[in-house]
C-alpha cells in the first residue's frame, strides 16, 4: 500500500485490464459502475457513443442503442478485439489526434485513461473537438481520497488519482463545464468473499459511513461552445487506424506486437 503522493504516471496495458475485468473483483466493478452509467445514459437510441481508454467493459450495455459505437484504445495501452462476435468495434488511436470528424460524438466515455495520460490537456482538447455542441463527456477517475487509489492490485491504483477540484480545473482549462458528479466504489478493493457476495450492501454502507472516500469519481461535463479551438499543424502523413478483427487473440494485441497500416490522407480517416 502506498500514498497517492508516491504514485508515478505509470499504467497497465490492455491485456492487464482485460484480465482484471475477467476476475471476480473486476466483475463486481463492472456491474457497479455499469449500473451508474446506464442509469445516467438511459436512452441513447440513435446517438453516437465512443469510449476512449479501456471502456469496453461498459460499452456493451449500449450496443443495442448507440449508433455508431466505438472503443478507441490509445497506443500506450494497446488494443484488443471487441466485441467477441460480429464486426470489430475497437481501434488503436493516437489520443491527441482521434480519427473522428469535428462535433460527431453525442456521448464520450473516458475511463482508464486520464490518470495515465502525460498529455491530459491535449487529450481533453481533442475530446472537445469531436464532441457535439449538445454532447456529454463522462469521465471516471480514481478518487485521491479513496482506498482504491492506494492499493495497486487494481487498475485504479496506478497512475495519478484526482480530487474534485483538480478535475474541475482540468475540465475548465480545456473549455468543459462540469455538470454532474457521482461517487462510486465504496467497498474495499479486495477479493474477499464477504465483499464480493454483497457489493451493493457495502456500497450503501460506505455512502453513509465514509461518503468522501469513494474509490472513483464520475463527472459528466458539457463543452463550452464559444471556446476557440487552437489551430493544429497540418500533417501530410497520418497513421491509419483500423478495427481489430474478431479473430485477433489477446497476445496479438500486446503493445509490443501492435501494428499500424500505411500512411493515408486526411480524407481517408474513419468517420462517425
Which domain CATH number covers 197?
Answer: 3.40.50.150
The length of the chain is 272
- Judge whether 62 lies within some domain: yes
Q: What is the pLDDT confidence band of residue 267, given thresholds at 50, 70 and 90? A: very low
- In degrees, rounded to 5, the angle at the alpha carbon of residue 91 between the alpha carbons of residues 85 and 96 is 155
- In degrees, rounded to 5, the angle at the alpha carbon of residue 219 between the alpha carbons of residues 213 and 224 is 150
Q: What is the pLDDT confidence band of residue 247, given thresholds at 50, 70 and 90? A: low
pLDDT for the residue 3: 42
> Average pLDDT, whole number, for the chain?
84
- Judge whether 264 lies within some domain: no
Measured distance CA(15)–CA(21) in Å, rounded? 10
C-alpha cell at 141: 477517475
Which residues, listed in sequence order, are joined to residue 162 by a DSSP beta bridge? 143
Q: What is the pLDDT confidence band of residue 232, given thresholds at 50, 70 and 90? A: low
Instruction: Sort 222 into a burial class: Cβ within 10 Å, 0-12 / 13-18 / 19+.
Output: middle
> Residue 7: is its pLDDT beyond 80?
no
- Judge whether 270 lies within some domain: no
DSSP reduced 3-state for 234: coil
- Judge whether 80 lies within some domain: yes
Measured distance CA(101)–CA(203) in Å, rounded? 39
- Judge whether 124 lies within some domain: yes
Measured distance CA(121)–CA(222) in Å, rounded? 16
pLDDT for the residue 103: 95
C-alpha cell at 215: 474509490
- Judge whether 269 lies within some domain: no
Query: Can you give the pTM of this predicted structure?
Result: 0.81
Please state the domain count of the chain: 1
DSSP reduced 3-state for 155: helix
- Judge whether 183 lies within some domain: yes
C-alpha cell at 185: 466504489
Structural domain boundaries enclosing 248 = 4-225+237-257
pLDDT for the residue 228: 52
pLDDT for the residue 108: 98
pLDDT in tens, 61-79: 999 999 999 999 999 899 9
- Judge whether 268 lies within some domain: no
pLDDT in tens, 19-66: 999 999 999 999 999 999 999 999 899 999 999 999 999 999 999 999
pLDDT for the residue 106: 97
Amino acid at each position: 500500500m502506498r500514498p497517492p503522493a508516491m504514485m508515478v504516471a505509470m499504467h497497465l496495458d490492455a491485456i492487464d485490464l482485460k484480465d482484471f475485468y475477467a476476475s471476480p473483483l473486476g466483475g463486481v466493478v463492472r456491474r457497479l459502475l455499469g449500473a451508474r452509467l446506464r442509469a445516467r445514459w438511459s436512452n441513447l437510441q440513435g446517438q453516437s457513443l465512443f469510449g476512449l481508454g479501456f471502456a469496453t467493459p461498459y460499452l456493451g450495455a449500449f450496443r443495442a442503442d448507440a449508433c455508431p459505437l466505438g472503443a478507441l484504445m490509445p497506443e500506450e495501452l494497446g488494443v484488443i478485439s471487441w466485441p467477441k462476435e460480429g464486426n470489430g468495434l475497437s481501434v488503436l488511436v493516437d489520443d491527441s489526434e482521434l480519427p473522428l470528424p469535428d462535433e460527431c460524438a453525442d456521448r464520450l466515455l473516458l475511463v482508464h485513461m486520464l490518470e495515465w495520460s502525460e498529455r491530459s490537456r491535449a487529450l481533453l482538447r481533442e475530446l472537445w473537438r469531436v464532441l457535439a455542441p449538445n454532447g456529454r463527456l463522462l469521465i471516471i477517475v480514481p478518487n485521491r481520497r479513496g482506498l482504491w487509489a492506494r492499493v495497486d492490485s487494481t487498475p485504479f491504483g496506478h497512475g495519478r488519482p484526482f480530487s474534485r477540484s483538480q478535475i474541475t480545473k482540468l475540465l475548465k482549462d480545456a473549455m468543459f463545464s462540469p455538470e454532474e458528479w457521482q461517487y462510486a466504489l465504496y467497498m474495499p478493493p479486495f477479493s474477499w468473499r464477504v465483499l464480493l457476495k454483497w457489493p451493493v450492501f457495502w456500497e450503501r454502507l460506505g455512502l453513509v459511513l465514509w461518503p468522501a472516500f469513494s474509490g472513483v469519481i464520475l463527472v459528466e461535463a458539457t463543452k463550452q461552445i464559444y471556446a476557440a479551438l487552437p489551430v493544429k499543424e497540418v500533417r501530410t502523413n497520418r497513421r491509419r487506424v483500423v478495427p481489430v478483427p474478431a479473430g485477433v487473440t489477446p497476445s496479438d494485441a500486446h503493445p509490443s506486437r501492435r501494428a499500424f497500416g500505411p500512411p493515408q490522407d486526411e480524407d481517408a480517416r474513419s468517420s462517425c
